[in-house]
Structure 1
Amino acid sequence: MIKFRRRRQIVPARTPGELDAMQAAGEIVGRALLACRDAAKPGVTTTDLNDIAHQVILDAGATPSFLGYEGFPASVCASVNEVIVHGIPSKDTVLADGDLVSIDCGAILDGWHGDSALTFGVGKLAEDVEKLNIATSEVLEAGIAAMVPGARLTDISHALEMATRDAELRHDIELGIVDGYGGHGIGREMHMDPFLANEGKPGHGPRIVEGSVLAIEPMLILGGEWGSDELDDGWTVVSADRMPASHWEHTVAATESGPRILTPRYE
């Protein structure tokens, strides 16, 4: 979805007040994601989850970022099992015990965007699928930790890649990094330059400075393969071998006191 414009020397920075405004949008996203997770039970459809998130966003006085974005027909992406990203909510997708569900959600408040994704199980997950999901959340944490002033863009990519390989060893599973998909700049637009790959060599790309903001979003496939296919609807991306996938995302600012998550989820 990201169209590159011109090369930048730094990842665009926001003022403290702008970061506060972005977090206000991000907190709405966090509430919508938790509402979806709490409602996800066997028999619930992904359309039901979309409707829940949509109402949370509207009730907060915000606008769903995804609805109508380049023609996307819903307020969230709802991706189940082998669907990696961009799943279109459907009344025909009925959740069952053991399903792995990713909800990707965005909201606009006072012109500022928040963007975050949460992956969770319905009922009890298979052991290897649970490990996949835990590992992906840990990889996100490693990427967030690398979001500090003075770093380069690909330092975050490298941190995500190394965390993936470490997670494979700790959890005794194989993990595939999805090629061609990753994080992005964000602010008054949902998708902005630069693109943030989920793997790569460190020390390259624009510098991260005080107030720089990125959406960091690892996507991992169980089994070590990284191929993906886009379905005929032009949106839904599935793993090529139809193995389960997990997707976690936070919008994060670099500050002198450490990374600041702008899409917090208050349990």
Structure 2
Amino acid sequence: MKIGRNDACWCGSGQKYKRCHMQMDERIEHYRALGHEVPGRELIKTPEQIARIKESAAVNNGLLDYITPFVKAGISTGEIDRLVEEYTRGAGAVPAPLHYNGFPKSVCTSLNSEVCHGIPSSDVVLKEGDIINVDVSTILDGYFSDASRMFMIGEVSDAAQRLVQVAKECVEVGIAALKPWGFMGDMGEAVHEHALKNGYSVVREIGGHGVGLEFHEEPFVSYVSKRGAEMLLVPGMMFTVEPMVNEGTDRVVTDEKNGWTVYTADGKLSAQWESMVLITEDGVEILSC
């Protein structure tokens, strides 16, 4: 139904449409008419939703800070999972991965050649030289947040250390390329270029995602896209920047037994950092990292 200029805005702010989202909607329609992919209203978070999602993100950030000193040689990934669930529930929240489409644990722990979705186990014990991604996601009062960090266990090889560093830089250059009324592909190409110039590849099949009201929302976020392409970036959009950077080929395989864990096809190392971001009127805000 068409909203009149003096009607209440669709976002629930209580303001008249002409003083709230009307100009934004008109600008979006201009880009749509030019043939660009644009977000629907369901992808644009309202101020109230943003405030509640930030509360979830605060728990998620606190969880990552809490878990950091425990991620060292001698701990099992199963114990990391226990600590994650204990902290999350103690904060009045719920681990988003637990039982999500059948995932059996509260956190993803992806080790060495595991690209993502590693399943914690008491049988997997971290040792000197390992690299591991710990990916935590939180539901607080129905609002979702998501982020991950890489950890280097003790003394790691120079090659592993460099990969972890460049993967972090890929997130940083990607976020730097984000701006309101730009395009998702601006970020994707910046990420891909940085990985390639350092001799690495970026996984194509798996990317980031919208987040906030659900664990995984539209749009799919590619890191091998082109500038000026993909979805228009509009204030209020929220998604993850989480390129999976591989030491060798960008090809991946999924564990046939558990149906979840993704590995590099050539058995070489993979690294990933994840930040959750909000497009604002004048830039980008990192909510969880």
TM-score relative to the length of structure 2: 0.83
**Partner letter of residue 136 of structure 2?**
C
Partners of 1:43 and 1:120 lie apart in 2 by: 14
Aligned to 1:132: 163
Q: Distance between the aligned counterparts of 2:200 and 2:178, measured in 1? A: 23
What residue number does 1:228 align with? 252
Choose which of 196, 219, 224 in structure 2 pairs with 1:165: 196
Residues 1-267 of structure 1 mapped to structure 2, 5 A cutoff: 9-10=38-39, 12-166=43-197, 168=198, 174-223=199-248, 225-232=249-256, 233-264=258-289
Provide structure 1 residue ranges, at least 5 long, that are not aligned to the other structure. 1-6, 169-173
Task: Write out per-residue CA displacement over residues 58-90 of structure 1, whole angstroms, 9 at most, x where no aligned residue.
Answer: 111111100000000001000111111000000
CA contact (8 A) 1:32 1:52 kept: no
Quick one: which amino acid aligns to residue 198 of structure 1?
A: Y
1:160 Cα deviation (Å)? 1.3
What secondary structure does 1:262 align onto? strand
Q: Which amino acid aligns with 2:219?
A: P
- The farther-off stretch of 31-40 and 111-120 is 31-40
Query: Structure 2 CA distance, aligned partners of 1:72 and 1:190?
Result: 13
Assess if the C-alpha contact under 8 Å between 2:254 and 2:260 holds in 1.
yes
CA contact (8 A) 1:208 1:254 kept: yes
- Separation (CA, whole Å) in 1 of partners of 2:91 and 2:283: 28
1:170-206 deviations in Å (ceiling 9; x for gaps): xxxx212112011011121111111011111121222
Q: CA deviation at 1:163?
A: 2.3
* Aligned AA (2:187): I
Residue type at the aligned position of 2:186: D
Q: CA deviation at 1:258?
A: 2.2
Q: State the AA in 2 paired with 1:237.
A: V
Cα distance in 2 for residues equivalent to 1:209 and 1:220 = 27
Deviation at 1:56, TM superposition (A): 1.4
In structure 1, how many angstroms separate the alpha carbons of the residues matched to 2:157 and 2:236? 40
Q: Which amino acid aligns with 2:286?
A: I
Shift of 1:164: 1.6
Instruction: Among all aligned residue pairs of Structure 1 and Structure 2, give the percentage whose two residues are the same amino acid.
Output: 32
2-structure distance, mates of 1:242, 1:27: 35
- TM-score using structure 1 length: 0.90
Residues 181 and 69 (structure 1 numbering): CA distance in 2 closer, same or farther, change over 3 Å? same
Stretches of structure 2 lacking an aligned partner (at least 5 in a row): 1-35
Tell me, in whole angstroms, the C-alpha distance in 2 between the residues paired with 1:131 and 1:64. 31
Partner AA of 1:226 in structure 2: D
Matched residues in 1 for 2:48 and 2:201: separation? Answer: 38
Verify the 8 A CA contact 2:180 2:282 in the aligned structure 1. no
Cα distance in 2, alignment partners of residues 36 and 81 from structure 1: 19
Write the distance in 1 (CA, Å) between the matches of 2:188 and 2:162. 22
1:234 partner letter: G
The separation in 1 between residues aligned to 2:145 and 2:133, in whole angstroms, is: 17
Q: Is the 8 A contact 2:107 2:120 kept in 1?
A: yes
The count of aligned residue pairs is 251
Residues 90-130 of structure 1 show CA distances to partners (whole Å, capped at 9, x for unaligned) of 01101001110101110011211001111111111111100
CA deviation after TM superposition for structure 1 residue 16, in Å? 2.7
Q: Cα distance, 1:8 vs. partner? A: 6.0
Aligned to 2:33: none
